[in-house]
Amino acid sequence: MTGPSLPLDSRIHAFRHDLADIALAGRIIASHYARPLTRSCGAHSTYVRRDPDPDAEAVSELLPGEPFAVLEYAAGWAWGYCGADHIVGYVEAIGLTDPLAATHIVCERCAPVAADDQITSPLLATLPMGARLHGEEHGACLTTEYGCVSLSHLRRVDEHDSDPVTVAERLIGAPFLPGGRSHYGIDGAGLVQLCLGLCGFAAPRLPEQMRALGGPLPQSAPLRRGDLVLFDHHAGLMIDDLLMIHASPHAGKVTVDPVAMVEGPGLERRRLPI
């Protein structure tokens, strides 16, 4: 017997006709079950794709240091789910490494990585906002396996920003990209999830899942900074009572627009406990 025995969302529950997460045993009938092996994204962000093909649709983006639960390795791809939000998909296996306990997180738009702590040292790479690092502080730098990163671009993982809108504003101008979660390219739900996460508020990845966050606001209630707005499978955060910041597919980037542009029966407004 194969196939799902209960109606579960395959975007956030790892099952196929031939294989399923062992946590779903008893809920899903599959030929085989697997226990997840936790790995981490390496030095470069990697897209989580719907199929094991570099041209397949990106359903999300795994940032450096974020965990990925592997259920299968095959033909250079790892199938499983993102540890933070359970988004299911395929990532290129070469992009995964042994997990390390993160000590710091990138809190700016991106963080340059240098060869050493000298100001004149050549840059080796950049790390995106949300990247999680393991390292030791030496003066004004964090020494990591990738190189040295200025502490001015980082904070400890147990510290949090206080305002998700301020975090989102650091990404103004970043390209709109379905499935993206970084300054290289980002979508509306990815922007909201990333910015709330840096403020210590765990948010799901999918816009429809975000409809369970916080509490609903009636149409007559005025909006305020930090309120969540959901519309047309997109998400944004209010800057004040009139303007929202979001990753706009029309503008092709993270931008600020009047919320009146999307007012209507499809708009949902929610107040977050943050």
pLDDT of residue 121: 85
User: Domain span at residue 237?
Assistant: 164-271
Q: Is residue 203 assigned to a domain?
A: yes
Same structural domain, 178 and 146: no
Same structural domain, 86 and 112: no
Task: Tell me the whole-structure pTM to 2 decimals.
Answer: 0.94
pLDDT of residue 1: 47
Same structural domain, 183 and 201: yes
Looking up residue 229, the CATH number of its domain turns out to be 3.90.1720.10
Q: Is residue 235 assigned to a domain?
A: yes
Looking up residue 109, the CATH number of its domain turns out to be 2.30.30
Q: Is residue 10 assigned to a domain?
A: no
Q: pLDDT tens digits for the chain (274 residues)?
A: 455 445 899 999 999 999 999 999 999 999 999 999 999 999 999 999 999 999 999 999 999 999 999 999 999 999 999 999 999 999 999 999 999 999 999 999 999 999 998 867 899 999 999 999 999 999 999 999 999 999 999 999 999 999 999 999 999 999 999 999 999 999 999 999 999 999 999 999 999 999 999 999 998 899 999 999 999 999 999 999 999 999 999 999 999 999 999 988 889 999 999 8
Q: Coil, strand, or helix at residue 260?
A: helix
Per the CB < 8 A criterion, the answer to whether 65 and 100 are in contact is yes
| Number of CB atoms found within 10 A of residue 99's CB | 18
Same structural domain, 200 and 238: yes
Strands in 131-196 per DSSP E: 132-133, 135-138, 141-144, 148-150, 154-156, 181-182, 185-186
Q: Is residue 12 assigned to a domain?
A: no
First to last CA, the chain: 46
Same structural domain, 146 and 229: no
Per the CB < 8 A criterion, the answer to whether 246 and 228 are in contact is no
Give the pair of three-digit tokens for residue 161. 């920003």
Same structural domain, 23 and 121: no
Q: Is residue 4 assigned to a domain?
A: no
Last-in-domain residue among 97, 117, 136: 97
Number of folded domains in the chain?
3
pLDDT of residue 266: 84
